[in-house]
Structure formats: C-alpha cells, structure tokens
Structure 1
C-alpha cells in the first residue's frame, strides 16, 4: 500500500514556473490470510479425444476446507510459450505490489477547455460505418474471400466447478484432437473474497502420431510438398501405412509405401500436390494405420486468387425515353460481388463516387480530416442520395461535428494546427486549410467554438509577417481572412503588387480578397488569368500538394463568387466533370476542392423534369418512382432502368469484387521497386536455391527520382513464406536488420502481405527489411511488390512476378 506526500515550491528561476516534489513510501500489509491453497491432481498422460478428470482440493491459510468456485482452462503449452504467458494468479493481481498509480493534474483545462475528441472514423469507418448491409459486405471483401478451417484450437474451458463442504470437487472434459503438452490453469474464489490458483502440465499423446506441415494458404497453380513426420511411441516396432484423401488438390504420385518404424522411433514421408487453377477451398486428410492403432489428421486450406479487391464505377445520366441495364461483372469470384446503384434527379449525383471516396478515406491526419468534412458543408443532400441509410441528416451533421472536433484537437497554443493531435510543430499550409474549413462550417451554421476560430484567424494574420511564409500561403491566408469577414488590407495590397510572380490559382484567391476590400476592378482583372493545362504538369507530393485539377477547382469556386455569369464557368465545370468521370485523383484534397466547386456549380443549374422511372432487378419489378424521388438498389445481378416522360435521370453505378484471375504486369513510373532474399549474413540468395525451414531477410528496395511523400509499399507473400512476428519471445535477433533502413510512418504485418507506409525525403534508393521463414517446400508464384504514392497514382511501380522454388531441408 503506497503513501505519498506532495510539496510545491513557487520560488525558482522563473516566476511563472511551478515546481513539484513527490515522495513515495511503500507500506507492506500481510494479506496471506486471503490466499487459498489449491491442489489439482491429473494423470501423467492422456490420449487425444479421451475424457480427462481433474480433481481439486481447496483449503484456506489455516488448512481448513473451503467451499469455492473454480474455473479451469486447458491450453496448448506451445501457444502460451510464444509470449511467455504466465498462469493467472488472482491473489497476486489483487494484493501484489504495483507501480505507483497517482496522476499529476493541472488546472489548465479550466483556462483552455479541451475539445472532446470523437474520432470521425467511428462514424465514417473504412468500408462502411452507418450502412448495415453495405458495411458488412465491404468488410468481407477486404478479407481473404476463401475461408478455411486450417487450425483447430487446442483449448478447453470449464466455467463453474463448485467444491463441497470438504473443499473437494472434480471437473471433466474431452481432450481435443491434439498431440503435445497442455497447461491446465485453475482460478479459485470463495464467497468471502479469498482467492487462489493452481496450474499443471499434461502430456497428450497416442502411440501413433502423425505431424504434417501444411502451408497457411495457397495460390492458384502452386506446386508444394507436405512433409509428414510419423512417430511410433509404442513399445514395439511397427509398419505404418499412410492413406491420403485429397479433395480439390491433385496429388503427384498416388501411392505411399509402408514405413517401418522402430519402437520409440520416427519416420518421414513426403507428399506432393498441385493447387487448382481456380480459387476455392481444398481438403487434405491423412490416415495412418499401425496394427490396431489408427490416427487421422484433416485440414482445410484456402486457395486464394492472385489479385485483390477490384472496384468499377460509372456516373452518368439517362434521358426520358431510354432504357439501360446495369450488370455486375461476371469475372468476380462468387460471393465477393457487391452492386450499388443510386438514381436521383439532381446532377450533383455525378459527384457521388468522389464524395464517397472522401468519406471512407482511412487516414485521419489534419489535411485528410479537413478534406473529409469540407464537401459535406455544401453537399449534405448528396450524402443522402448515395446511401440514405448511412447518410441520414443527423449522421451527416455528426460527421461534420466530429470532423470539426478532431481538427480542433490538433490546434496548438498559438492558434495554428499540427499534422496530428499532440504534434509539437505547426503544419503551415494545413493550418490555413483547416481554418478555411472552420470558417465555411461556421457560415454554414455548424457549431464552431468562437475562441478557437478566433485564435486560428489570428494565427493567419500574424503569419503574414513571417518571412519564412511564401507568398502563395500568404495569399491563401488573405483569402480565408476575407471569407471570415476580417480582410487584411495592407497585405492584400502588397501581394497584389507582386501578382505577376504568383501562380494562377493564387491570383484567383487574391481576387476574392481584393473584392472584399473594395477592389472589384482589380479582382476582375485577376480572374482573367488563363488556365493552361500545363501550368502544373504533375501534382507535387509535398505538403502543399499543388495540381492542375485543384487549380481549376479553385478558379471555378472563385468565379462563382465574383463573376458567376463569366463564360468560363461552364467551360471549367465541363472539364472537371470529364476528369471526374475518367479518373480518381487519390488525394482527399483534390477531391474536396473539386467536389465543393462542382457541387456549387451543379446546384446552380436547373432542369425541368417530369418523368416516371421503372426499376427491375433480376427480371422482377421492384420500384416505380417519379422525378421527385431518389432510389438506391443494392445487390442483384442485373438491374434494368427505364425512363418515361420528359427530363433527365442521373445515376451512380458501382460494382466491386475479387476477380477470379488477375495477374498484374510490372511497370515503373517515377519509382522503381524490387525484392531480394538475403541470408542472415546479408548475402543475396538466388530464387531457385531457397530451403524450407530457413530464416531469411526480405529486402525491399525502392528508388525515387524525386522527393515523394505518402508512399505505400504492398508486398504480397508467396504461399511458402511466413513473416516472423517481431513481438514474439522466440524470435531470432538479426542485428543489421534495421541498419540504414527506410524511416517508416507505419508498418502492418498480415498473413499474406506486408504493408509499409513511408515518406521518401529525396531522390535516391531506400531499403526496408523484415525477417521471414520458408516453411513449405515447393514451387510458388511470387507476386510482384507494388509501391505507389497515395496522392498521385501516376507515381507508382510494380516489380515482376517470379516463380519461387523452395527446396526441402
């Protein structure tokens, strides 16, 4: 039991600095009387699939029997040893010595109220969120589409064993199909609050054991071997006959010769198989017979497609008097297909694909959270058209409110904003961008706290005098200040004097600031700037993320503010609409600017509609609607839509699924990526001289022609390779593994791939390494490693696919 004392000293080097001193004195209290003594008796050995009886005797510290409740768990000792798992001890947990848990608190929260954080991802989660059916469907698509029961857990649990007046009880359970050591762990508690525990190891085995080594998964067409170890643990020599039943697999060599194994000895057999050409689930059963002894091992293995989830979408319109059929692709793997068709009278539906992408984008930094929220400020009705169940009015407001709170959680003491909550440095451009969103949200009627908004605007004002802030950012700050009704006359005029040095999009933003201070003539002159397609040839991947697409969106938004009748309004809108239909720009920021600008434009366009729509799904009429309604169709194979009357119906059609056959080709575009295998000394291993059981280092090398931020490396594994978990206690240490390694933002290790997120600081070659082990001999398809920039799909590379040969050890 700890006792603490705290002293405060006000005097010090600084009058405003507070010093704290804390002393801790542990006082030991004897709680041994609260501990029960538990005796658990087990047989020394038991066979699989047989009944096990465990006998218990419980007494208190004085040796007197106690009525108590017992829970018993039996777990594979091999699994527990991976993490050095200790058996639970409730007495130690309740009365054992613990770290000092007192926290130091300040009163700062009364001076600067903390914004309550509500993660936007809780409302708009990846792959869904509010929409029940659609969220489940998308979640399934992200997993391996082929499920198989490869492992059977060696776990048993008895929940409530009660001792009698003598403190005696017993529990029984059927031992699982398992050979090895199980640890039995008992936790005991009595009505008066006393606790105890016991544990013991139990050997589970039978005279004849078969231990095959299967791969975790397969890919179509893989050739592989299954080493089978056979153990004769009886007291006599024996002849073992192994019978094989393969369902879905082609066995190479149909007969297995009998194996003679001495008493206490072991033998080995190697089986060869080939996976099918199409994905699915295969079953392998091994039955060993030695005299009267018999044992059976059965396993299911998933044969996955080579490719992953694929999305296809289209947007468009149908004029009255036309009929159109929307069909799901026939090359998707059965069970992975998803169809989503939205019909609506508003032209803003053409923005559905991009807006939906923004709402589901899984990365929640300052820029991406701001970009998620921005479009919804003006297009909340569109969200309801995309998915009425998910994007209900209150849910749209919740998403916006949560986004505002998350953005404010990244605000610094000086009013600026960092990349993430708790960041120590401000993100200059992101601070202006976030403040822009807060200003627009405030105008749109959302609840934006006045003090943080005022501090953000003051940060923009003071940053104008910062010599490290370039003129483009200063123009953007003046633009946001003008939008907030606080234009800065002096800096707006000073930047206008330097307008010739500004890029096109900055001149358009400056026009808004000039217009707000009364310089309409100058504003109209600024928006006369042309928008050549090659003004920004390629989107940069730095923190400003300039691009021609964003530039045109800014120009359209400014024209709608200052000169909505300008003839270029329609030209720019048409160009952006065409690009919207043929491309997805992979940056939340580009999408946010375009959705806002086109949304404002499309809402200003009206069209007379008076039509009736008949919707048929898989040959059955499911809906008749008018031009006043919208409708969402989910699932189905073929959807037919007929429009009768006068006007135009808009649609957004999306299908997704996992293609049955997909072999992506290698390419390079401003990146180069490749993979090497090295031994533990760093020497490169040839692809045809790899050995099962060997621990190797996988080296991913990525070369960039320029500074490239937000890069993802997706390394798909072959079936014969498994990533070593660096968190396991049994992992082998490799000292040079991280030497000169690429600095990463995040790393995700999965059964069938490794995902690396990183920024490349400049041109050059970068390397990332991880440990893996070849566990299955055979010939496998080695998918190419894929690297790409999240913010520019044209910056990407994929290495060649290879055939990987893994020899038996």
Structure 2
C-alpha cells in the first residue's frame, strides 16, 4: 500500500550516529479501481480495476462490482472498445466474475458500462479468493456524473396571499415540460426569495477572479434572516464560517507587494476597484470572526488610503466611482477618511449615481464611528442631497456595472438612512423589476452580489411581521406540506419527472391568508444529440489532433490510452476593446489536461500553432491570456482585455487516460460581465482504445 522511511538518531556527548530503513505496508490481495475522475450521461467507458496478487501462489478470484442507478453494465460493446474480459457482462448493475491471476502478478480487468443519470456515483468493488476466505479486499469509488450539453431552464416568481390553489406551471415554457428533468419549488415567508436565481448563479459560477471570489463570498456574510429565507444558505455555523474563511484566504492570495489586490491570484499589478471590492468582503469577513492577519489587512487599508490622495484633481466619473467604493470600504473597516469624504461631497455633481450612493454610505459609516445614534444635521443634509434622484448625471461608462449596481447601493443607503421612507420602498420595487429572464437574476456576478447585499440590509432594517401558515405543494399524486412559524423561514421541494407534464398542474395552496412567496424553477435535460455551434456575440470552434512520439500531428481518429492530444480552440471576436473574456473548454471524460509548464519527454518539443498537416497556421493570432487554470474536468483561459477584433487561437495539451466512447461537451467563450454575449462550439464523440498489452499477461476470465 505504501512505504515508510524509518529514521533513528543517537546522541551521546559529542558523539552521534544515524540510520534509516524502509518499511513497506502491504496486503496479500489488493483491488484498485482505475476510473475517469468524472464522466457524463451517455458516456460508454471501460470500468477498469487493477488486481495485485502479492502471495506466492496462483489465485482463483471472484470479483464483484456493484453500480448504483447512475450506470449500467453493457452486455456487449460492438464498435466500442475491446476489454480484457473474454465474456461480456450481463446488462445490469451487478457483475460477478471469476479470474485466475498468477503468483506475485499485477493484472488489469475491464468491463464496459454506460452512464445513465447525473449525480455522485458510488460503487463498490470486492475481490476474494475462492479457496481462502481470508484473502479479500474491497473498496468504494465516488465521482461525479454530469450532463454533456447545457441544461434548459425556466423560472417564475409567485406571490401568494390567499387560500386559492394556483397552477404554478402555467407561465413556464411548455416545451421544457415534455422530457426528462425536475421541477423545484422554493417557498418562503420573506421577499428575499426573489433573489433565488441571483444566489444560485453566484454560488455556481465556476471562475475565481477577485470580483467573482468576492461576489460568491458575500452571501455567506449576509444576515441570519437571509440565511433562513434562502435554502441554499441554510448551513451550519461551522460550514458558513468555513466558506467565509475560504473566500477570504483566496482573496489574500491576490495581494501584491503594494498592499492592493490583483485581478487573479499570484499577479503583481493591483487593481483599485478590485482592491476596494475585495477589501469590503475582507472587512466584513473580519467582523464575522474570520482569522485574517492584521498586517495584511493594514497593508490593504494603506493602499486604499493612498489612492484617495489625488481625489481633488480627478474628473473622470469612473475614477471617482472607484474611490468612493474605496472610501466606503475604509469606513466599514473602521478607518473613515473624513477629509476625503468632504472632497467627494464637494465634487458630488461630477459623481455617477452609484458613486453618490457609496459616498452617502461612507458618510453614514463615519457618523456611526463617531457615535451618532441619530443622524446629525450635517450628516442628514449631506446624505439627503446625495440620495436625491438625478435624472441626467455623469456615467461611469462601464457596461458591466448595470443598473442593478446603482439601484442596489441606493437601497442600501436608504435602508440605513431612513428605512420607513417612501423612497426606500420605491427603490426596492425598482431593483426587483431589473431582474433579467433566463435564470441569471440581475445578470453578471457583480450585478447579482450587490442586490443580494441590498436585500439583506433592507430585511435587517425593516424586520418582519409573520404568522403561522401551512403551504401545500402538489404535482400529480405527490404532495408535500411546508409549515411556517412566525419567523423567517423557507422550504424546498423537488419533483423529478420523465414524460409529459404539459397537461399537469402544480398546485400551491395556503391554509390561511398569510403572505407567502414562491420561486418555481423548471430544469429539463435536452436529448443527447449532436449540438451545433451557437454564436451569441462570439464564435468558437474546437479541434482534436493526435501527436505521435516523433511530433507528427494528425487527426485524432485512432486514439489509445496514453496518447497525447493537441486541443485547438479557434475564436472570433467581432469587436475591438473586449474586456474580461472567459474561455471554458470542458474535457471529455477520457482526457486529462497536461500542465504545459511541466516538461516531459512526451510534450518536450511538441510543435504548436500548426494544423493537422504540420503547416503553419494562417489568419489566426495567439490570444494572450492573463490567467489560466487546468482543472480535473476542464481547461480555463481568461483574457482581461483584447484591443483588436479578429480571429484568435488557444492551444493546449491533453492525454487519453481511459478507453471508451464519450461526448466532449461544448467549449464556451463569454463576456463574464455580460453573460448574454457568448459562443458555443459543437459537441463531438471521442473514441479511444485500451493499451495494447500482451494478452498473455492479462487476467483470464472464466
């Protein structure tokens, strides 16, 4: 199983000596599953295990494999892959076979299976000697089964205030009600539930720059009322503290020598808006009890303070907006900069709307730090002036800020200043109407984080007046009851379905006239058929090519386990001056990405920027990426900015690690802060064969 190195040191007076020896821990019989680290529905993969006979005699073994409902053995695999097993497994989820393995031998056995359902797969493997029950080994495998093409979604918000049973499916897309999927119903006695889509988008967004790390950490810093109202945040105190600590720790990996934060971990150039936003999260995390080094925080506060020094000379709205956010962050951290707040106030006519709101928030933080339990006349006059609606004020000129940023900061300011004001309710209503269709809440991660923070602040400031009520949710013959007490709470019910729900009714009924809010989400799995490329502002295509040991590149039409593959992503950017692009290439489950920084004989000297014939590429420029990540299931590339429109190319290496026939999900390019602008490549089926091992050295099936 493993080898330990045992060392001993002896000392007496001025004499000493040392010695060491290895100690190997082993078992007479070992079974080791060798599986892909993830897979997708529809993938057909050889399920392989390695058997180790560490005894000094031949063994006749019985192998038992139990799959769960997410996979099924194939009775045969025509045109798929050969296996070491001369007798195909019967279709089903349990396999029992006998094998003979020689003394001191290590052998490989395989059986093909197909994946049928998403979720975490849990399988058991057991090998035992027929004639000696003491020789046995067993293990469990766990890995994720995903879906190879995008899940289709639709959602609807409902406000229930009487005892009538409403059909909650009525306004959802009927095309998604016919097929395979699930209906998820979330009910709450708090209006916070209207942020469900935004929260889901934030917590599942797969990237991790400074903004996205900050935005995905903010919900865990929300109020207790918010956590009770949104099921996704219903975690234990320990889990919430761990999530906050993880987010804060990642933010600190972006700190530069200047004290400011960079856009990606490990970079050397700080960005002011990211430092201000990340600093806000760190300040809130510190207040929540996160363990953060004071000297690191002090360096960040010093960086933000230094960037306020030239405020009087600034005229650009965006530059002023960044510094108003920095001033608010310093106020939350307990270091208000009163003199600069006065400078900002004197320049209020030059401030865009979100900057006016942030300045008002900073002024109130400063007032609270001075002990104002009621706003002083100066504070009240300044905040009232700043929060007054300005119909045609300056604009920051940042498209990805969106209207929700200004409305959210306006709501935070009003909730803190005068929650009973009509302006507070008007701002809340305006913010909720800005949500976008398509399950993304208010749009990007940044555009979703601020509304969540605003709604949490508003709920904490207003309090709640609630009653006991039972909420009955019924789809067909399946019925669930969620009971509410007079405190913020929520419940969640899921109805998986196979077939046609277009004539079915989802009924939600209350036991009295209390007010309940509902969010109904429909998820439908489209049929696994070849997906055509899609251009919603960008174009992307993908090509796989095999690299021979001598460096020759050709089409990947005869892959085997161990082969090296060149992956080429061709991109079309139709506009100049793009910012914050993400290129996300999900791997087929039989591939793993190769770290290009780790030089081996296999990738050393591999020619890049070539097509399948070895000719130099034409009409494509290498896309300079500011950050890249090679994950278990995908390769990610990020370009913080590109100056010119045109055709670009990204290339990386992958290796075939399993045999089978699988789907390569579509590659995607998107503008991270304008997610409605994206492009998808098509899907493709990839085949690979097992290693061509000497048949005389394989375990023999009986």
TM-score range, shorter chain: 0.5 to 0.7
> Deviation string for 1:340-365 (max 9, x for gaps)?
43322121222233234434545455
Alpha-carbon RMSD across the aligned residues, in angstroms, is 5.5
Cα 1:361–1:531 change in 2 (3 A) is farther
1:174 corresponding residue in structure 2: 60
> Deviation string for 1:670-724 (max 9, x for gaps)?
4232235678799998x9x96778987442122332233240233566x9x9678
On the 8 A contact 2:40/2:146 being kept in 1, the answer is yes
State whether structure 2 residue 385 is matched by structure 1 residue 525: yes
1:548 corresponding residue in structure 2: 403
Q: CA deviation at 1:793?
A: 0.8
State whether structure 2 residue 516 is matched by structure 1 residue 672: no
For residue 216 of structure 2, give the secondary structure of its aligned residue in structure 1.
helix
2:371 corresponding residue in structure 1: none
State whether structure 2 residue 266 is matched by structure 1 residue 380: no
For residue 476 of structure 1, give the secondary structure of its aligned residue in structure 2.
helix
Taking the aligned partners of 1:151 and 1:447, their CA distance within structure 2 comes to 44
2:648 corresponding residue in structure 1: 766
State whether structure 2 residue 352 is matched by structure 1 residue 352: no
Give TM-score, length-normalised by structure 1: 0.56
Aligned partner (choices 458, 468, 472) of residue 614 of structure 1: 472
Taking the aligned partners of 1:567 and 1:389, their CA distance within structure 2 comes to 30
Q: CA deviation at 1:790?
A: 3.2
Cα 1:357–1:668 change in 2 (3 A) is closer
Cα 1:747–1:646 change in 2 (3 A) is same
Q: CA deviation at 1:576?
A: 2.2
On the 8 A contact 1:307/1:663 being kept in 2, the answer is no
> Deviation string for 1:437-492 (max 9, x for gaps)?
34445667888777765554444323212589933222222333445564433322
> Deviation string for 1:209-232 (max 9, x for gaps)?
xxxxxxxx9xxxxx99569899xx
Q: Which moved more, 1:384-393 or 1:706-715?
A: 384-393
Structure 2 unaligned spans of 5+: 1-6, 10-15, 64-70, 72-76, 93-112, 119-144, 368-377, 498-505, 611-621, 689-702
For residue 539 of structure 2, give the secondary structure of its aligned residue in structure 1.
strand
1:463 corresponding residue in structure 2: 307
2:138 corresponding residue in structure 1: none
State whether structure 2 residue 511 is matched by structure 1 residue 644: yes
2:163 corresponding residue in structure 1: 321
Cα 1:678–1:499 change in 2 (3 A) is same
1:699 corresponding residue in structure 2: 568
Q: CA deviation at 1:796?
A: 0.9
Give TM-score, length-normalised by structure 2: 0.63
Cα 1:311–1:729 change in 2 (3 A) is farther
On the 8 A contact 2:221/2:285 being kept in 1, the answer is yes
On the 8 A contact 2:627/2:637 being kept in 1, the answer is yes
Question: Taking CA–CA contacts closer than 8 Å with sequence separation of 6 or more, which of the two structures ends up with the larger relative contact order?
Answer: 2
Q: CA deviation at 1:593?
A: 0.8
State the structure with more CA Rg: 1
Taking the aligned partners of 1:74 and 1:728, their CA distance within structure 2 comes to 33
> Deviation string for 1:749-801 (max 9, x for gaps)?
76xx753322153134431124579999x999987543223332122112466
State whether structure 2 residue 332 is matched by structure 1 residue 477: no
Taking the aligned partners of 2:348 and 2:189, their CA distance within structure 1 comes to 42
Taking the aligned partners of 1:29 and 1:684, their CA distance within structure 2 comes to 54
State whether structure 2 residue 264 is matched by structure 1 residue 368: no
Aligned partner (choices 490, 501, 508) of residue 357 of structure 2: 508
Aligned partner (choices 587, 591, 595) of residue 452 of structure 2: 595
Cα 1:439–1:156 change in 2 (3 A) is closer
State whether structure 2 residue 31 is matched by structure 1 residue 151: no
> Deviation string for 1:136-173 (max 9, x for gaps)?
xxxx9x84235766233342344xx5xxxxxxxx3332
Aligned partner (choices 632, 638, 659) of residue 491 of structure 2: 632
2:606 corresponding residue in structure 1: 735
For residue 645 of structure 1, give the secondary structure of its aligned residue in structure 2.
coil
Q: CA deviation at 1:550?
A: 1.4
On the 8 A contact 2:185/2:492 being kept in 1, the answer is yes
On the 8 A contact 2:324/2:355 being kept in 1, the answer is yes
For residue 613 of structure 1, give the secondary structure of its aligned residue in structure 2.
strand
> Deviation string for 1:603-648 (max 9, x for gaps)?
5275665644334476355436355364534444486431132231
For residue 524 of structure 1, give the secondary structure of its aligned residue in structure 2.
helix
